[in-house]
A and B are shown apart, each in its own frame.
Chain A
Amino acid sequence: MAASPDPLDAFIVAAAAALGLPLEDSWKPAVKTNLQVTLAHAAVVEEFRLPDDAEPAPVFRA
C-alpha cells in the first residue's frame, strides 16, 4: 500500500497559491526541508508554557 501523502506537501502548495508565491517543482524539496526545520524550532518554543498575560517583546507606544 502506498504511504499516505504528507499533509505538509499539500500545505506548501496551498500556501504558495494563497500568498501568490511562485513554487517550481524542483524548489519544493528544499522549501519543505526549510519549513520543517522552522516548524521544529517553533514547536520547541511553543511547548514552553507561558501565562496568558505574557506580552510579546515589541511593545507599540502611541
Chain B
Amino acid sequence: MARDTGWSTAAEIAEGVSSGALSAASVIDAALARIEALNPKLNAFTAVRADRARARARAIDAAGDRRQMPLAGVPFAVKNLFDIDGVVTVAGSKINRSHPPAARDAPLIARLEAAGAVLVGALNMGEYAYDFTGENVHEGPSRNPHDLNRMSGGSSGGSGSAVGGGLVPLALGSDTNGSIRVPSSFCGIFGLKPTYGRLTRAGTFPFVASLDHLGPFARSARDLALSYDAMQGPDAADPACTDRAPEPVTPLLGRGQDGLRVAVAGGYFRKGAFPEALEAVAGVARALNASDEIDIPEAARARAAAYVITATEGAALHLDRLRSQARDFDPAVRDRLIAGAMVPAALVAKAQIFRRWYRTQVLPLFDRYDAILAPATPCTAPEIGQQTFVLDGVEMPVRPNVGIYTQPISFVGLPVAAVPVPLTPLPVAVQVIAAPWREDVALRIAHALEQMGVAAAPRPALAA
C-alpha cells in the first residue's frame, strides 16, 4: 500500500524500505512527483535524474541486504557544485555550462548511495557560492518554502528550499562562510557544517580552499547523523581531508544533553540581531539550562579576516575566467571578485596569521564548555531582492550582514549544527557550536532539543 512519505524523515523511509513495508521505487516515484509539482514554485532543482534514480531504486528493492543500508531508499539531492556522473557541474554559473559533463559522482554522493540513498538531482545555488541570499541571476532565485517571496538563503539555497519544501528529506551543500547554516535558518531545517577537513571535498567545484566545508541538510537531527556517518572517512583526493577514522555519531544521539556543559555567546553575537533571532537563542538556552554567557574573543576581527581571505582566494580561483569571460559572470559576483584580485598579498598574509592566533583563543573555551550557542542569522528570511533592513532604527545592507554570526565560527573550522526554532510566521536557526571533531556533541544537543519540542522543522503549507 502506498504511504505518504512527503514529510517523512530519512530514518523513517530507510526503516520502511529495509523492513519491506515500503518499496524504494514507490518512495522515489513519490519524490519525483513532488519535485514535478512543487519545483515550479520553489525553483530548487536545476537538474533531475529520474531514470538514474528509478534504476537505483529498483536495484535497492532487489537487494537482499537492505538491512545493511542505513539510508535505504532515501531520496537526496546535491547543490550543483557536486560532480554528478553525466551532468555538467555548473556551480551556479553560466560559464561552467560549457564544461564537459562530470565523469563520475563526487565521493560524498557515492558514499551516500553505498548506504542506500538515491540521488534524484542537482540544486540551485548562488553563483560560484559567493552568496548569502539563494538568488541566482542565471536560474532565478530558489524560494523559501514558508513564503515564496522570501529568500531561501545562500549560497546553498536550493538545498534549503528542497528540504524545507518537502521535495527531498536530505540534501548536501557547502559552507565557506555560512552557506549551510544560513539556508537552514531561513528555511527552518537542520544543517550540519562539520569540522573543517572532516568530509572530503573531492569532486566538487571549490570556492575558498582555506574555508570550504561540505555537509548535509535534513528535517531531523537523526537524519543529519545518519547521512554524516555514511559520508565520513579519509580521502587522499582532498588534501585538507582528515586521516581520522570515521567516528559514528548516530549511536550516541540517545545520550542527549546528559553531562554536556553549554554556554551562550555574548558580546558580538548579541549585537545586530533582530528580536526573533535572540528569542530563538534564549529559548534554546532555557531548554538546555545554559545560563553562562561567554565572550568569543575578537569575533568581529575574525569575521573581517574571513572576509579578506574569501575575497582574495575566490579571486585567485576565478582570475582566468575574469580575464576571458567577465561579462558572463553575475555582475555582482564579478565586481566582488575583481576587487578581490586587487587586494595586496601582505593583507591576506596578515589575515592568515590572525586566523592562527584566533584559534588559540577560541579552543580553550571548550575546556569549560562542550558547546556554545549563537544565532545562525540576525533575522528571519528577508524578501527576495531586499537590499536593506532596519535594525534599532539604523538602515543596514542585507547581504553583507546575513553571515555575521556564521563567519567567525567557520573561520576556525568548528563543527556546528544549525537547529531550527519554529517561530511564527517564519523560522530561524540557532548555531550549536562544538570543539573541533566533536560533531557528536553538536548533534546530541540538536537531537535533545528536538525531543524537547524546542527545535523542529515546521511543515510549510505548500508541502502539506
Partner-B contacts on A (CB < 8 A): 11-12, 15-16, 19-23, 27, 30-32, 34-35, 37-39, 41-42, 44-46, 48, 50, 54-58
Are A38 and B359 also in contact (CB < 8 A) when A15-B341, A30-B335 are? no
Other-chain residue from B304, B326, B342, B354 in contact with A22 (beta carbon distance below 8 A): B326
A19 touches B341 (CB 8 A): yes
Which residues of chain B are within 8 angstroms of A35 by Cβ–Cβ distance?
339, 342-343
Kindly state the separation between the CA atoms of A47 and B312 in the bound complex, as whole angstroms. Answer: 19
- CB closest chain-A residue, reference B323: A20
Which residues of chain A are within 8 angstroms of B308 by Cβ–Cβ distance?
38, 41-42, 45
- Nearest-Cβ distance from residue B369 to partner chain A, whole angstroms: 23
Other-chain residue from B311, B319, B323, B349 in contact with A56 (beta carbon distance below 8 A): B349
- CB closest chain-B residue, reference A27: B335
Is B298 among interface residues, defined by CB-CB distance under 8 A? yes
| 13 intermolecular pairs with C-beta atoms under 8 Å apart | A11-B342, A15-B341, A22-B322, A30-B332, A31-B342, A41-B303, A42-B304, A45-B347, A45-B354, A56-B352, A56-B355, A57-B210, A58-B352
- Nearest-Cβ distance from residue A61 to partner chain B, whole angstroms: 10
- Nearest-Cβ distance from residue A28 to partner chain B, whole angstroms: 9
B299-338 at interface with A (beta carbon < 8 Å):
300-301, 303-305, 307-308, 311-312, 319, 322-323, 326, 331-332, 334-336, 338
Count residues of chain B with CB under 8 A from any CB of chain A: 38
B193-249 at interface with A (beta carbon < 8 Å):
210
Is B340 among interface residues, defined by CB-CB distance under 8 A? yes
B410-433 Cβ-contact flags toward A at 8 Å (1 or 0): 000000000000000000000000
Kindly state the separation between the CA atoms of A27 and B331 in the bound complex, as whole angstroms. Answer: 8
Partner-A contacts on B (CB < 8 A): 210, 298, 300-301, 303-305, 307-308, 311-312, 319, 322-323, 326, 331-332, 334-336, 338-343, 347, 349-357, 359, 400
* A-B contacts besides A22-B326, A38-B308, A42-B308, 19 pairs, CB < 8 Å: A16-B338, A21-B319, A21-B326, A27-B338, A30-B331, A32-B339, A34-B340, A37-B307, A38-B339, A38-B343, A39-B343, A41-B304, A42-B351, A44-B300, A45-B308, A46-B350, A50-B353, A54-B357, A57-B356
- Nearest-Cβ distance from residue A24 to partner chain B, whole angstroms: 8
> Which of B312, B354, B359: most chain A Cβ within 10 A?
B354
B322 touches A21 (CB 8 A): yes
- Nearest-Cβ distance from residue B95 to partner chain A, whole angstroms: 14
Which residues of chain A are within 8 angstroms of B355 by Cβ–Cβ distance?
56-57
B323 touches A21 (CB 8 A): yes
Interface residues of B: mostly helix, strand, loop or mixed? helix
A58 touches B210 (CB 8 A): yes
- Nearest-Cβ distance from residue B156 to partner chain A, whole angstroms: 23
B323 touches A34 (CB 8 A): no
B304 touches A44 (CB 8 A): yes
- CB closest chain-A residue, reference B326: A22
Are A45 and B301 also in contact (CB < 8 A) when A22-B323, A55-B353, A58-B210 are? yes
Kindly state the separation between the CA atoms of A48 and B302 in the bound complex, as whole angstroms. Answer: 11
Which residues of chain B are within 8 angstroms of A46 by Cβ–Cβ distance?
347, 350
Kindly state the separation between the CA atoms of A18 and B326 in the bound complex, as whole angstroms. Answer: 16
Which residues of chain A are within 8 angstroms of B339 by Cβ–Cβ distance?
31-32, 34-35, 38
Kindly state the separation between the CA atoms of A29 and B461 in the bound complex, as whole angstroms. Answer: 43
Kindly state the separation between the CA atoms of A58 and B351 in the bound complex, as whole angstroms. Answer: 11
Which residues of chain A are within 8 angstroms of B352 by Cβ–Cβ distance?
56-58
- Nearest-Cβ distance from residue A55 to partner chain B, whole angstroms: 6
Other-chain residue from A16, A34, A41, A42 in contact with B336 (beta carbon distance below 8 A): A34
Kindly state the separation between the CA atoms of A23 and B352 in the bound complex, as whole angstroms. Answer: 29
Other-chain residue from A12, A20, A37, A57 in contact with B342 (beta carbon distance below 8 A): A12
- CB closest chain-A residue, reference B300: A44
Which residues of chain B are within 8 angstroms of A37 by Cβ–Cβ distance?
307, 400
B334 touches A27 (CB 8 A): yes
- Nearest-Cβ distance from residue A62 to partner chain B, whole angstroms: 13
- Nearest-Cβ distance from residue B211 to partner chain A, whole angstroms: 10
Other-chain residue from A31, A39, A41, A58 in contact with B338 (beta carbon distance below 8 A): A31
- Nearest-Cβ distance from residue A15 to partner chain B, whole angstroms: 4
A21 touches B354 (CB 8 A): no
Which residues of chain B are within 8 angstroms of A30 by Cβ–Cβ distance?
331-332, 335
Which residues of chain A are within 8 angstroms of B353 by Cβ–Cβ distance?
50, 54-57
Which residues of chain B are within 8 angstroms of A50 by Cβ–Cβ distance?
353-354, 357
